[in-house]
Structure 1
């Protein structure tokens, strides 16, 4: 039986230590900062997360680019030529055309390599919501699931990756068309932090608006308490965009309740950070979908 690898993209925002430990392959993604182009890799070889946020707070302009079909072709072919099958878990199709590009190459390479298996799956998730799904897929692979069994598992569980996040500066969301200019001005003046997630189509949606960091963390924890599945057996992830102090406070509050197995804090990388800005806070866990 051929071995296989789990592949994702640089929006997954998992700590590099986890990516390395489980042999997850991550395709880099492009970002342009003040007209200078970089490829963002999880090991931060070209661009560090800290430097990215420093430059963003200094007023730098940034925008991201999706993975091209050519890059998918080159990346997948290299793995196939090493005798590996591929299961790619990608950034939500509701937020990017990256997944569609991967599907085009899946079809082409399946014909060119008929003895190989190439499965591309739409995570319907963003950032560490996608990362959490990839992490759990890696855990399932470690248990011995075949590539076909894992494909079925991911499709059946992708909506169970529950992810909620807040932002402190609405102007980054305004630039991406997620809120109006009026909402950005009023929300920033009133210190309102929207809570966002993705819907069933994988599109970003504002599910609540909260004032104050205390209420924000209470909302995130209450969601986890209501939706979480077997939390005592789970390692949950807190993500932050240059917001470590608040992430540590959220971790402390969760640990004090003694309801989860472990907590990982992860930085939100430049690909997602371009659209959410400094101050983002996220909480992700496996659970059953409730009302948005």
Structure 2
């Protein structure tokens, strides 16, 4: 069987060290703050996460863009020329047009290279949830799983990958159309911290309105308690928007109750962070249902 490479995009919010360790390819993504363009690399070389969130706190606006077909061609084609196949794990198609761009590139390259196999998988995941999907896929590849088998496994299990978020700043959700200006104003005045999740279609859905920051983070843990499966076999991912102390607090709640394999904490990058804002805490694990 031909070897294959796992490719993902910058929204998977994986640290550079993990990308290197897993032997995957992560396609950087572009964003723009106050009219200045940046590329989000996993090592933060153009704009470090702290600087990005500081800019948002100071009132700067960040605009994101999808990965276009030309970029996919430039990443995929050299891998195909090496005689390897591709499994591309994409940011949720309900949140971005990136997945659709990858399909156009796949079609073009499979026509040009008839022996090549390119599988584009719509993860219906976001941020480190997508990262956990990629991590899990890479570990299964390491264990000897072939491309077709891995694609089938992902398709069968992806709706067990749970995403629970809480945001600190309602006005970022307002900009993304998730809440109205009135709701954002009232919610801020009442110290309401919404809890959201990513549903089976890969959409970000508000689920609860909780009063107080600590209670909202505790709520993420309660959702994990209610649905987690085989915790002793799991590596759990936590993402944060410049809120490491709260991320570590959540990690502590989990470790206190469960003997998990590991907990990986990483920054929510600027592409997702542009929409979720500073102070976001996100929890990702495998459970009975999303």
Structure 2 alignment gaps of length 5 or more: none
What is the CA-CA distance between 1:174 and the residue it aligns to? 0.7
Q: What secondary structure, in the 3-state scheme, does the structure 1 residue paired with 2:238 have? A: strand
Deviations 1:219-264 (A, max 9, x none): 1112112211100111111110011111111111211123422211
- Number of the residue aligned with 2:70: 70
Verify: 1:148 aligned to 2:148, yes or no.
Answer: yes
Map 1:6-45; keep pairs closer than 5 Å.
6-45=6-45
Q: Take 1:78 and 1:39, find their aligned partners in 2: how far apart are those partners?
A: 21
TM-score normalised to the size of structure 1? Answer: 0.96
Q: Take 2:50 and 2:223, find their aligned partners in 1: how far apart are those partners?
A: 29
Map 1:87-126; keep pairs closer than 5 Å.
87-126=87-126
Q: What secondary structure, in the 3-state scheme, does the structure 2 residue paired with 1:55 have? A: helix
Structure 1 alignment gaps of length 5 or more: none
- Number of the residue aligned with 1:273: 273
- Number of the residue aligned with 2:282: 282
What is the CA-CA distance between 1:45 and the residue it aligns to? 2.2
Deviations 1:99-151 (A, max 9, x none): 11111111111111111110001001111111111110111111100111111
TM-score normalised to the size of structure 2? Answer: 0.97
- Number of the residue aligned with 2:86: 86
- Number of the residue aligned with 1:250: 250
Q: Take 1:251 and 1:204, find their aligned partners in 2: how far apart are those partners?
A: 23
Q: Take 2:20 and 2:229, find their aligned partners in 1: how far apart are those partners?
A: 27
Q: Take 2:235 and 2:257, find their aligned partners in 1: how far apart are those partners?
A: 14
Map 1:134-173; keep pairs closer than 5 Å.
134-173=134-173
What is the CA-CA distance between 1:282 and the residue it aligns to? 0.8
Q: Which is worse superposed, 77-86 or 61-70? A: 77-86
Q: Take 2:258 and 2:289, find their aligned partners in 1: how far apart are those partners?
A: 23
Q: What secondary structure, in the 3-state scheme, does the structure 2 residue paired with 1:11 have? A: helix
Matched-pair contact (CA < 8 Å) for 2:229–2:286: yes
Deviations 1:258-277 (A, max 9, x none): 34222111111111110011
Q: Take 1:118 and 1:282, find their aligned partners in 2: how far apart are those partners?
A: 31
What is the CA-CA distance between 1:92 and the residue it aligns to? 0.5
Q: Take 2:215 and 2:10, find their aligned partners in 1: how far apart are those partners?
A: 31
- Number of the residue aligned with 1:56: 56
Matched-pair contact (CA < 8 Å) for 1:87–1:119: yes
Q: What secondary structure, in the 3-state scheme, does the structure 2 residue paired with 1:229 have? A: coil
- Number of the residue aligned with 1:199: 199
Q: Take 2:14 and 2:249, find their aligned partners in 1: how far apart are those partners?
A: 20
Deviations 1:7-64 (A, max 9, x none): 1100011222211100111111110011111111112222211111122212222100
What is the CA-CA distance between 1:172 and the residue it aligns to? 0.7
